Amino acid sequence: MTSLSAVNLNRLVVFAAVVEAGSLTAAADRLGVAKTMVSTHMQRLEAEVGATLLVRTTRRVSVTEAGRTFYEASRQILSATEQAISALAQESGVLRGTLRIATPIDYGASVVAPMLVALQQRHPELKVELVSADRQVDLVAEAVDVAIRLGRLADSSHRAVKIGGFVKWLVASPAFVARWGKPTTLEAVAKLPFVGMSALQKPLVAPLESTRGGKRTVRFSAGFLADTAPTCRAATLAGGGVAYLTNFSIGEDVEAGRLVRLLPAWSSPPAGIHAIFPSARYPVPKVRVFIDALKAHLEANGG
């Protein structure tokens, strides 16, 4: 049986980087060391634990079943260590290390990225890594400190803080409205060409509520489908059809006249925006500072 004293725990950092980056070269770039050093660390780690953790090819590495189990345990050890260090850093008031945030693509681009630039300027020793993806990111497996989730939260052991809310509007470009006319009823808008987001479970369905309390669901026909919200926005700006988009992503377009809000008495039911992060034994100052900064940014910009 391998004893703890026989394992160089520094190699866990290198091993985690290889698994997350997908190759020795990418891990070396991420760590700022030579590829030969990464390879040596992996060979010695496998010898120390007495198991094959990685299968190497010319371009990538794949993780063995034993390696996946070892990675998950290693990530927990590294995460606990990072949290303990962050807790100590709170006393000095200086934020250090890397803050890894996951967001939906459109929210990351329109809201989080600009805020993070200002946050990093206030904390120059803090490194920031923004992961934008329209999928459910696994916080533990992908070493994410905090994730932004839109809409209803799935049950989990993670902690969650509500930071805001959003609605969706029916919009189209002025050129589209000039060509097709401005609809005055939901039945009319449902007959128009539609720009939908294919990543959604029901990309052609738009649940709506009116300012008078009415509730309706509009079902569109297949038109232009795209897999990200920014692409749907671009297609809508180009006159591709009616779209059902979040107010934070197209609010400035409506205000500037680049998009026209259709049937403005109707919008989606209000939904929440939450920051979620793993439950931790130690408080993580960088996560708390990020959440506070995001709340302040939203308040300063009208939510």
Domain CATH code at residue 245? 3.40.190.290
Tallying the residues shown for the chain, one arrives at 303
pLDDT above 70 (res 3):
no
Pair 119, 259 in one domain: no
Residue 67 maps to a domain: yes
Q: Residue 296 and residue 287: Cα distance in Å, rounded?
A: 14
Q: Residue 226 and residue 86: Cα distance in Å, rounded?
A: 40
Q: Within its chain, how far is the Cα of 159 from the centroid?
A: 16
Alpha-helical runs (H) found in 150-201:
174-180, 186-190
Pair 161, 181 in one domain: no
Q: Residue 156 and residue 145: Cα distance in Å, rounded?
A: 15
What is the span of the domain harbouring residue 192?
A: 168-269
**pLDDT reported for residue 133:** 84
**Mean pLDDT across 24-30:** 87
**pLDDT reported for residue 281:** 47
The set of residues, in sequence order, having a beta carbon less than 8 Å from that of 124 and lying 6+ positions away, is none
- Asked if 233 and 249 touch (Cβ cutoff 8 Å), the reply is yes
- Asked if 142 and 78 touch (Cβ cutoff 8 Å), the reply is no
Question: Using alpha carbons only, what angle is made at residue 27 by residues 25 and 85, rounded to the nearest 5 degrees?
Answer: 160
Residue 85 maps to a domain: no
CATH number of the domain where residue 22 is located: 1.10.10.10
pLDDT in tens, 121-158: 988 888 899 998 878 878 877 778 899 998 887 766 67
Pair 110, 227 in one domain: no
User: Is residue 4 very low, low, confident or very high in pLDDT (cuts 50, 70, 90)?
Assistant: low
Sheet holding 266-267, edge to edge: 215-219, 205-210, 266-267
Pair 240, 176 in one domain: yes
- Asked if 47 and 74 touch (Cβ cutoff 8 Å), the reply is no
Residue 83 maps to a domain: no
Pair 231, 286 in one domain: no
Residue 232 maps to a domain: yes
Q: Residue 107 and residue 165: Cα distance in Å, rounded?
A: 12
Q: For tokens 């803080």, what's the residue? A: 161
The set of residues, in sequence order, having a beta carbon less than 8 Å from that of 262 and lying 6+ positions away, is 169, 170, 171, 172, 177, 182, 183, 189, 242
pLDDT in tens, 225-258: 998 999 999 999 999 999 999 999 999 999 999 9
Q: Residue 118 and residue 160: Cα distance in Å, rounded?
A: 23
Spell out the long-range contacts of 71-74 with Cβ–Cβ below 8 A and sequence spacing 24 or more. 71/15, 71/16, 71/19, 72/140, 72/141, 74/12, 74/15, 74/16
pTM above 0.95, yes or no: no
pLDDT above 70 (res 283):
no
Q: Which of 42, 77, 112 is the last residue of a domain?
A: 77
Pair 51, 191 in one domain: no
H/E segment holding residue 262: none
- Asked if 194 and 223 touch (Cβ cutoff 8 Å), the reply is yes
Pair 278, 160 in one domain: yes
What is the residue-wise DSSP string for 28-68? Answer: HHHHTS-HHHHHHHHHHHHHHHTS--EEE-SS-EEE-HHHH
Pair 16, 149 in one domain: no
Q: Is residue 286 exposed (0-12), middle (13-18) or buried (19+ Cβ within 10 Å)?
A: buried
**pLDDT reported for residue 235:** 96
The percent of residues in the chain predicted with pLDDT above 90, rounded, is 48
Pair 230, 260 in one domain: yes
CA dihedral 106, 107, 109, 115 (to 10 degrees): 170
The total of structural domains in the chain comes to 3
Residue 285 maps to a domain: yes
